[in-house]
Structure 1
Amino acid sequence: MKLIIISGRSGSGKSTALQALEDVGFYCIDNLPAPLLPGLVKQILSDPDHPGQLAVSIDARNQHSNLKLFPEIFAQLRETGQLECEVLYLDSSETTLLKRYSATRRKHPLSNDNQGLQEAINYEKVLLAPVADLATIRIDTTRLSLYELRDSIKLRVAKRQEQELSLQFESFGYKHGVPLDVDFTFDVRCLPNPYWLPELRGLTGQEKPVITFLEQQSDVREMLEDITRYLEKWLPRFEQNNRSYITVGIGCTGGQHRSVFISERLAGHFRTTMDNVQIRHRELN
């Protein structure tokens, strides 16, 4: 049976993720007390007609002592040998979380007369650390719409075959901050920048004039070859070490030209040998 444990700070998109998994056939349970998880799994496995796919949300609404026990509970689940068990951890920047709560006017589950919203958001990160440390996939929802998050969950989690590595390339602009969920980050700001050519400034790395310009640059070709060789060497090592998801960040200044071009080329190359390769252009979205 496949078990996905969803966690993350309040406002990061856990409900949306749970709904996305429910849409593709997962049996979903929200806000389960962590100590009840082994018993629930045992009961479901005892049913010959069990759904085969289970998603459970465990977050800061749990008793705090329960969250401290999570690593022990997770190890117990994996030892059964009957589960493909993974932790999906969602998060957003603190600024984004504050804006979302201000927009919805909802009360944070940890806020009270002695602890305001900012303090509650910070404290929640500390409480969830035992769960976050075991995450097999992290998704930064800071710049994701509800629809983009649903698509990401369906593509990277629900449709991934057992023991198959899910690889995502994400282009971004350093001036907007580094994504929270990348495993590798490659800085391509040293490459020739199409931005300084007026006729290319308003285009992107997906458009032919920019592609032609970058293809003609020897530094671009050399950078692309070096990143490709590095990933070809080390991705199989991570896969052998039971890593299920890898996100590769490619950053340039604005996230419009160079990082987009390099990400597109890398994704195209690795799709020839891997089944689950995704691409996301953060600034273009």
Structure 2
Amino acid sequence: MKLEIVLITGMSGSGKSVALHALEDAGYYCVDNLPPELLLNFVKLEQTQGAKKVAIAMDVRSATALPLVPQHLETLRKQGVHIKSLFLDSATDTLVRRYSETRRKHPLSRSERTDQQHALVEAIELERELLADLREKAHVLDTSFIRASQLQGYIKSLIAAPEAQLTLVFESFAFKRGIPVDADFVFDVRMLPNPHYEPDLRPLTGRDDAVAAFLRQSPDVAQMFNDIEKFLTHWLEPLARDHRSYVTVGIGCTGGQHRSVYLVEQLAATFSKRWVTLKRHRELDARGDLPPISGGATVF
């Protein structure tokens, strides 16, 4: 069995520690904040010890050496090491709120300015610039509006997906809570008939038969499905040839409960016949009693 490595990078405060805990629960040997200069030697050591599953987190504290990472990953792939690279991201205002809640200092924040929030925003934007190359080459997960339990579930589903050239992720969401920053394509379905205005359907979701039956009656819903299916069918093959590992398709409606959920379910069922396909329902998955990811120690 080849060595499997999951590399976790991303914005400070986006949930890397939560992701590592999920991987540890899944049987991975986890290392936090490994300096990029040590990556090749560390992997060699793990191979000599017979390791099979390793998870490594790197962040902006190793900023000067981060440009080494893509080259090192390519070297490891040529050696037969299977690598999944995940980048955790969050909206700037979410990161500012998390830092404000815990009063922790951003790793790039060295300013003594009295306007601490402005200094924090500057540090976050600098971090985005420094991590841009890693983000470009990884599968991005937006943690802006999700709970720790959701992130753990997403991580486990991604690592459980069979090795393939491309994994397709369909994600429903509510526009009123913002567009997922991890989406490669976004489709707006708010113009479709809304089950919310049907009293019997309002408490249900797009996964319920009654809502599905209501939406199937609409020619516009069928046309939207066909248009999205046609677009993706045309472009997924070129994306796979371009060596994309993941493609995330966001389907958004007003509340993220009915129309977007229904279309995600239908599209996932259709495309699973050709591609490795995962589903996420951001607003539905967020329901529950567990707290959202916050700026506490578990997210750094």
Q: TM-score, normalised by structure 1?
A: 0.88
Deviation digits for residues 108-138 of structure 1 (CA, Å, limit 9, x no counterpart): 2222243632222222112222322221x11
Alignment partners' CA distance in 2, 1:86 and 1:209 = 39
The SS at the match of 2:129 is helix
The SS at the match of 2:104 is coil
Letter in 2 for 1:187: D
Comparing 260-269 with 68-77, greater Cα deviation is found at 68-77
Residue 133 (structure 1) aligns with: 136
Residue 281 (structure 1) aligns with: 281
The SS at the match of 2:13 is coil
8 A Cα contact 2:4 2:54, kept in partner: yes
How far has the Cα of 1:270 moved from its partner?
Answer: 2.9
Letter in 2 for 1:74: L
Letter in 2 for 1:160: A
Deviation digits for residues 203-228 of structure 1 (CA, Å, limit 9, x no counterpart): 43233332222111111112212322
Alignment partners' CA distance in 1, 2:124 and 2:210 = 45
Letter in 1 for 2:135: A
Letter in 2 for 1:155: S
Alignment partners' CA distance in 2, 1:148 and 1:161 = 20
> CA-atom RMSD, angstroms?
2.1
Residue 152 (structure 2) aligns with: 150
Answering whether residue 23 of structure 2 is matched by residue 21 of structure 1, we say yes
How far has the Cα of 1:105 moved from its partner?
Answer: 2.7
Distance change >3 Å, CA 133–CA 278, structure 1 → 2: closer
8 A Cα contact 2:165 2:244, kept in partner: no
Distance change >3 Å, CA 273–CA 128, structure 1 → 2: closer
8 A Cα contact 1:89 1:138, kept in partner: yes
Residue 33 (structure 1) aligns with: 35
Alignment of 1:126-275 (within 5 A): 126-135=129-138, 137-156=139-158, 158-163=159-164, 165-274=166-275
Alignment partners' CA distance in 2, 1:68 and 1:101 = 27
Alignment of 1:66-145 (within 5 A): 66-78=65-77, 80-114=78-112, 116-135=119-138, 137-145=139-147
Alignment partners' CA distance in 1, 2:19 and 2:132 = 20
Comparing 90-99 with 253-262, greater Cα deviation is found at 253-262
Deviation digits for residues 2-24 of structure 1 (CA, Å, limit 9, x no counterpart): 22211111110111111111211
Letter in 2 for 1:88: L
The SS at the match of 2:7 is strand
How far has the Cα of 1:199 moved from its partner?
Answer: 4.4
Structure 2 spans left out of the alignment, 5+ residues: 114-118, 287-300
8 A Cα contact 1:70 1:130, kept in partner: no
Deviation digits for residues 241-266 of structure 1 (CA, Å, limit 9, x no counterpart): 33222211111233222111111111
The SS at the match of 1:220 is helix
Distance change >3 Å, CA 130–CA 240, structure 1 → 2: closer
Alignment partners' CA distance in 2, 1:166 and 1:139 = 14
Higher relative contact order by CA 8 Å / sep ≥ 6: 1 or 2? 2
The SS at the match of 2:172 is strand
Runs of 4+ deviating beyond 4 Å: none
8 A Cα contact 1:26 1:51, kept in partner: no
Alignment partners' CA distance in 1, 2:64 and 2:274 = 45
Distance change >3 Å, CA 164–CA 133, structure 1 → 2: closer
